[in-house]
Amino acid sequence: MPIYSLHERQNSIKGSGEVDETLNGSARFAGFKYKLGASLGITVLSLYVAICCAAFGQEGESTKLLWVSRANKISPADVAGFDVVVVSATAKLPSARVPQSQLRLALFEPGGVLTAKQRDLAEAQGLVVIASVVRENEVKLDLSTDAAISFAARDLPGDLISKGFDGLVVSLAGLLEDQQSALLKEMRVAFPNVPLYVRNAPALAQTEGLNLGCYLEVPISEVAGTAAQLKATRWGRPPLVVALAGAEITPERSHEIAQTLQQAGATCVVTSEKLDGFTFAPLREKARKALILYGWDPREAEKALIPPTDTMTAELFQAPLEHLGLEAEYLDVGSGNLRSSPQGYGAVILDAELDIPTSRESDFMGMLLEFKAARVPILFVGGMPFKRADSIQALRDEFGLRGTLQEVPHARDAEIVSVDERLMNFEAPVVARNLAMMDMRAPEDAHVLVSQRCKDVDDLAVVWTPAFLCSWGGMWLDPHILMRGSQDNYFFLGDPYGILSELIAQGGSLPVLDSTTRDGMRIFYSHIDGDGFGSLTQFRGHPFCAEVVRDKILKAFPLPVTVSIVEAEIKGMAQGIDESWKPKLVDLAKSIFQLPNVRAASHSFAHPYQWDATDPNPGIYTEPFMTLKPDVPYRQVSVDREIRGSVDYINSELLPKDKKVELMLWSGNCRPGAEALRLVEDLGIYNMNGGQTIVSRLYPGIAGVAPRVMPWGDELQIHASNQNEFMYANGWNGPFFGGFADVVDTFERTESPRRLKPVNVYYHFYSATSLSSLRALEKVHRWCMAQPLHGVSALEYAQLAKDVRDARVFELGPQAWRICTGGHARTIRLSADLGRPDLGRSEGVTGWVTHQNSVYVHTDGRHVVNLVFRDGGDEPPKPGNTELRLVSSSAGLKFEEFGPWKIKFVVNPLVMTPVNVVFSGVPANSSCDLTVNDARSNLSADALGQLKFQIPPGAHIVLDAQRTRYALLQ
């Protein structure tokens, strides 16, 4: 009986109607057969009803969640799970609403700065606008006339409502009293059913007959008073209260504040003072960002500003940070806003490419101290960024460092004092270096990773601890980070995963949104850059490369592949492409895009080598783009032509009706810059390429593992998970071209000892020019076919990569988290030491698999997942403890019913191979019913309680483990 009650409770939490039926049916069956069974059934039913009541009772008490942000870019993950969302009027909200009842409010400031469109509209109506004396092109509306009030009350909000907002939070700051009431009255007349909240003016919010809501932003110090006021007033609708807290607020305090406000009847959030969306309570958000400080004043440093991708962190540490669950956010100290609030950050890294402008050193130090006070770990990497003696002194004093913190010129006879063998001597041994020797010792409490000493010019001993971890973070300085063998071969002297893991450990367990695995299997995706589409192969008859790739790869290996083309090549505009080939190339492209396993992408119009003309490090290219025929009127890269033009061409001329271009695959230096990325986003497609992950026998250092994504301004570049064949085949310089077969070595190295990347087979059409390179491709594909992989399209991976960055994690309690995503990030990784998911108490979790001392938890793709861990139970479970779960699947499954004994799902119909599925959670060697498209069969579990079977794409499956229960009853 206790066995049943456990499941009853689980089902009640899930609220699954199907389970109800199952239980009733089962109880009837038991009653029919056995009296004992009947009584059990009745007991179960009673318990079920009781628990349901309890659950409903809880539901009744549950409060609504509020989220407020001033950001302009709002991702689906940002708003998922919140009942009320308040954002800037200029923000663009995602289309998906989770929950469906989500109320979306725009912060509307009638007296605020007008957008260009609003200004034009106002001027067209003859209204007066007031120009800002401080900022150019900034204008506000002169609200002194009735016409202006009417415009502000009708036209401006109307535009917002039409953009998809449900209601408005009206900020009346700066308006006269009569203007305020006139405006509100007119708004109510114009929008009689739209929820209107008044910001920070509770008295106005109580205006009779207007049915207004109250929206308050209050510092936490004023929360008690505010709560008292709220209690004393009767509100038509619950007031929205935003409690503004500093980074120093404790979880207990924030929880207390939220409770106080909730008890006063408010829908509230305790969030950061900067209203950046980070929440302290009622949901305690986990910090998922690492702040990377880099850059310089270009005039002072006499070198151009660099984008984040050129920093040491991007090159070496972003990938480990991502693996550990932190997303890198870069702040250019030369041009950016120096002060940044510490909340939301799990670490701060002072990059090696940081040269603080001397005039800002003091401010910079202040910011560091703020982070230090908020207990955000700070890691100095590379070198010391301060030049001013007073700053260095402050660093010494505030961070507990010892020594002069000055470089020791002419240092010699360096020798190692100590090396932490666990975290150092990683890919290459630490050796004593005279280079960059400093008179600096770690704070007293530090965990010293490397300590060395040398003699200075006066033959005196100086000690330096270039690598250490301590209470405030630590340092890992050059030249003790890497052994730089060449431009392609770096060897870490310390384990970046281990060191960074220890650095951020004090932040507690962080569920990591994983981009390598889906449904328990490593992700596979493949994409082809269009280069060489029209090149002739070396085979008999010299067919086009594309023809050979189509016939020998795309048709031969039924894996999902995203194929791109270069427009100028297909159109015969490229040098070397005969005009007469054009119709053949067009037909060839069409035939490829018609293949069922092929998805479409663009590889630009003319294959730019350098995307951004202002890029300070564009790479060594002699031409801006591929050589075109002289009569083609195209002289310099036009981002619009390259992206929009090529996408339009492919969509309209080459694709079948049911397909559209999904991705823009960067060409050349793969450094798109913000403008190009913005354009791609505006087109509603995703982007990919760059990063150049390569770690193999030829490039053995783990430093070759690139980050998953790279920010450019507000935009995001999605890196390919692996480098293409060019680098594997000696830069395509020959004499032999079969090196891409070695990519399997990369796949293995990025799988073990830790899974760092999906399997990404990325190549160009020119891989078919020679038989050796084609055979390498075939070999790689054969390897992929033989591996347990979960195939997705490149688009799906791009969506996943972005979603992982946007995802939010909230701590619900010990070993319990809420994960909000856009629905693409469907795997959560945690240390296996934390236990195993408690499926009964979790929501949206379909199963898990353990791998490399991690638990990879898979979800059903819902936006809001509640994940609860418990200590690992029996594996396999004892009879009666059946709790079906998905272990792995080689293709996507859509679950229609998910109960402990019965699971119904549909297999992705778009895959082209039989799908391997493993379920677990039934007793060893037990029997289950498997129905595949109405054909029922018996399925036996193995000794581990695993049910392994293969099913066709698109199949409707019912896996019924009721027999395990039946066996117990017998």
Partner 1 sequence: MPNALAMPFSNEAGTGEPRVVPVKLLVLIVCLSLLGSYLLVPDQSQLVERLMMDQQYSRIQDMLRSSLGNEDGVDAESLQKLGSERLASLSNLLRLTPREQVQTIFAAGRPLTYDRFTHAVTLAAVKYVDVMTPEQAWALIGKQVDRIPPGYLADLTSVLAHNALATGKPDVAARVLAKSAELPQATPVQAREMVQAFRWSGKAAEGALHLRRWLEARPDLASSLSPDMMELRDLGLQVALEGGSPGDALDFQIMGLKAIPQTTAISEPQIKVAMSLATQSSRTGDVVPWLKRFIEGLPEHKLDWRSLPQQKVSSPDKFATYATWLTKYAQYSDWSSGFDTAFDAHFRLAACGEVPSLDRCLALADFLGRIEELADLLQFTSITDQRPELQPKLAAFLANLGRDEEALPIYQKWVTDHPEDAEAAHDLGCLLEDMGREEDALLAFANAVKVHPEHVASIKKLAESCIRAGKHANALQLYAGLPEKAHDHATLENYALLAESLDQHDQLFRAQVLTTRQTDVTTVEPYLAIAETASYLENPEPAIAELEKGLQRFPSSPALRVAIGTVWLRDLTNPERCYAALKHDSVKQSFEGVTLLIEIGALLPNPPDLLAFLGSDIENKFSLPPQSRLELAVLSHRCGDVARAERLFATVPEEGRGLAYLAEAKTQLGELDDAIRLMNRYLEGNSRATSEDWIALGELFEQTGRADEADHAFQQSLTLLTSDLPDTKEAPTIKSTQASEPASVSPRLSPATEP
Residues 718-737 that bind partner 1 (CB under 8 A): 729-730, 734-737
x-marked contacts with partner 1 along 50-69 as a string, rule CB under 8 A: --------------------
- Please check whether residue 958 is in contact with residue 895, taking contact to mean a CB–CB distance below 8 angstroms: no
Q: Quote the DSSP letter at residue 683.
A: T
What residues pair up with 202 in beta bridges, in sequence order?
A: none
Q: Is residue 461 at the binding interface for partner 1, with CB under 8 A as the rule? A: yes
Judged on CB neighbours under 10 Å (0-12, 13-18, 19+), 891 is: buried
For residue 539, the minimal CB distance to partner 1 (Å) is 5
x-marked contacts with partner 1 along 246-285 as a string, rule CB under 8 A: ----------------------------------------
For residue 454, the minimal CB distance to partner 1 (Å) is 10
Ranges within 591-620 binding partner 1 (CB under 8 A)? 620
Q: Is residue 746 at the binding interface for partner 1, with CB under 8 A as the rule? A: no
Q: Is residue 388 at the binding interface for partner 1, with CB under 8 A as the rule? A: yes
Segment interacting with partner 1 (CB under 8 A) among 190-198, 368-376, 432-440, 850-858: 432-440
Nearer to partner 1, 250 or 406 (CB): 406
Q: CA distances (Å), 213 to each of 13, 207, 230, 692, 879, in order?
A: 33, 10, 12, 52, 56
Q: Is residue 408 at the binding interface for partner 1, with CB under 8 A as the rule? A: yes
Q: Is residue 409 at the binding interface for partner 1, with CB under 8 A as the rule? A: yes
Q: Is residue 435 at the binding interface for partner 1, with CB under 8 A as the rule? A: yes
User: Which ranges in 729-817 belong to alpha helices (H)?
Assistant: 743-749, 771-786, 794-806
Q: Is residue 303 at the binding interface for partner 1, with CB under 8 A as the rule? A: yes
Place of tokens 């890198």: 328
CA separation for the pair 229, 201 (Å, rounded): 12
Ranges within 774-813 binding partner 1 (CB under 8 A)? 774-776
Whether residue 282 has a cis bond before it, omega within 30° of 0: yes
Q: Is residue 489 at the binding interface for partner 1, with CB under 8 A as the rule? A: yes
Nearer to partner 1, 236 or 429 (CB): 429
860 phi/psi in degrees, rounded to 5? -90, 10
Ranges within 506-545 binding partner 1 (CB under 8 A)? 537-542
Nearer to partner 1, 116 or 620 (CB): 620
CA separation for the pair 75, 80 (Å, rounded): 9
Tokens read off for 804: 């992982």
Nearer to partner 1, 167 or 624 (CB): 624
For residue 545, the minimal CB distance to partner 1 (Å) is 12
What residues pair up with 113 in beta bridges, in sequence order?
A: 140
Q: Is residue 697 at the binding interface for partner 1, with CB under 8 A as the rule? A: yes
For residue 496, the minimal CB distance to partner 1 (Å) is 18
Q: Is residue 459 at the binding interface for partner 1, with CB under 8 A as the rule? A: yes
CA separation for the pair 417, 5 (Å, rounded): 62
User: Which ranges in 351-466 belong to alpha helices (H)?
Assistant: 361-373, 389-398
For residue 465, the minimal CB distance to partner 1 (Å) is 9
> 397: Cβ–Cβ under 8 A, 6 or more apart, which residues?
none
For residue 295, the minimal CB distance to partner 1 (Å) is 15
Among 721, 725, 719, 671, which Cα is nearest to 698's?
Answer: 725
Judged on CB neighbours under 10 Å (0-12, 13-18, 19+), 374 is: middle
Q: Quote the DSSP letter at residue 878.
A: P
Q: Is residue 635 at the binding interface for partner 1, with CB under 8 A as the rule? A: no
Distance of CA 795 to the CA centre of its chain: 14
Q: Which of 8, 519, 725, 742 binds partner 1 (CB under 8 A)?
A: 742
- Please check whether residue 238 is in contact with residue 217, taking contact to mean a CB–CB distance below 8 angstroms: no
Q: Is residue 745 at the binding interface for partner 1, with CB under 8 A as the rule? A: yes
Q: Which of 404, 471, 651, 913 binds partner 1 (CB under 8 A)?
A: 404
Q: Is residue 552 at the binding interface for partner 1, with CB under 8 A as the rule? A: no
Q: Is residue 434 at the binding interface for partner 1, with CB under 8 A as the rule? A: yes
440 phi/psi in degrees, rounded to 5? -155, 130
Q: Which of 329, 439, 502, 681 binds partner 1 (CB under 8 A)?
A: 439
For residue 337, the minimal CB distance to partner 1 (Å) is 20
- Please check whether residue 851 is in contact with residue 755, taking contact to mean a CB–CB distance below 8 angstroms: yes
For residue 294, the minimal CB distance to partner 1 (Å) is 16
Q: Is residue 426 at the binding interface for partner 1, with CB under 8 A as the rule? A: no
- Please check whether residue 510 is in contact with residue 545, taking contact to mean a CB–CB distance below 8 angstroms: no
Among 790, 596, 802, 606, which Cα is nearest to 685's?
Answer: 802
Q: Which of 387, 422, 782, 878 binds partner 1 (CB under 8 A)?
A: 387
Q: Is residue 897 at the binding interface for partner 1, with CB under 8 A as the rule? A: no
Q: Is residue 424 at the binding interface for partner 1, with CB under 8 A as the rule? A: no
CA separation for the pair 626, 575 (Å, rounded): 8
Segment interacting with partner 1 (CB under 8 A) among 36-44, 168-176, 460-468, 896-904: 460-468
CA separation for the pair 660, 665 (Å, rounded): 14
Q: If binding means CB under 8 A, how many residues of this protein chain bind partner 1?
A: 81
Ranges within 348-377 binding partner 1 (CB under 8 A)? 358-359, 362
Tokens read off for 380: 């100095």
Q: Is residue 425 at the binding interface for partner 1, with CB under 8 A as the rule? A: no
Q: Which of 282, 325, 739, 923 binds partner 1 (CB under 8 A)?
A: 739
Nearer to partner 1, 272 or 465 (CB): 465
Place of tokens 């048709």: 555
What residues pair up with 463 in beta bridges, in sequence order?
A: 453
Question: Count of residues for the chain?
Answer: 970
What secondary structure, in 3-state letters, does 2-61 show?
A: HHHHHHHHHHHHHCCHHHHHHHHHHHHHHHHHCHHHHHHHHHHHHHHHHHHHHHHHHHHH
For residue 225, the minimal CB distance to partner 1 (Å) is 39
- Please check whether residue 312 is in contact with residue 355, taking contact to mean a CB–CB distance below 8 angstroms: no
Q: Which of 62, 101, 137, 486 binds partner 1 (CB under 8 A)?
A: 486
Nearer to partner 1, 542 or 936 (CB): 542
CA separation for the pair 674, 680 (Å, rounded): 10
Q: Is residue 462 at the binding interface for partner 1, with CB under 8 A as the rule? A: yes
Segment interacting with partner 1 (CB under 8 A) among 180-188, 245-253, 257-265, 400-408: 400-408
Q: Which of 58, 221, 393, 950 binds partner 1 (CB under 8 A)?
A: 393
Nearer to partner 1, 56 or 736 (CB): 736
- The DSSP result for 88-120, as a single string, is ETT-B--S--SSTT-EEEEEE-TTSBPPHHHHH
What residues pair up with 915 in beta bridges, in sequence order?
A: 951
Q: Which of 154, 453, 552, 582 binds partner 1 (CB under 8 A)?
A: 453
In 514-632, DSSP assigns E strands to: 517-518, 521-529, 561-565, 598-602
Q: Is residue 657 at the binding interface for partner 1, with CB under 8 A as the rule? A: no
Q: Is residue 638 at the binding interface for partner 1, with CB under 8 A as the rule? A: no
Q: Which of 27, 30, 214, 483 binds partner 1 (CB under 8 A)?
A: 483
Nearer to partner 1, 127 or 306 (CB): 306
Nearer to partner 1, 125 or 730 (CB): 730
Q: Which of 103, 105, 266, 405 binds partner 1 (CB under 8 A)?
A: 405
Q: Is residue 46 at the binding interface for partner 1, with CB under 8 A as the rule? A: no
For residue 424, the minimal CB distance to partner 1 (Å) is 16
Q: Is residue 402 at the binding interface for partner 1, with CB under 8 A as the rule? A: yes
CA separation for the pair 970, 964 (Å, rounded): 10
For residue 389, the minimal CB distance to partner 1 (Å) is 5
- Please check whether residue 759 is in contact with residue 787, taking contact to mean a CB–CB distance below 8 angstroms: yes
Nearer to partner 1, 534 or 823 (CB): 534
CA separation for the pair 478, 476 (Å, rounded): 7
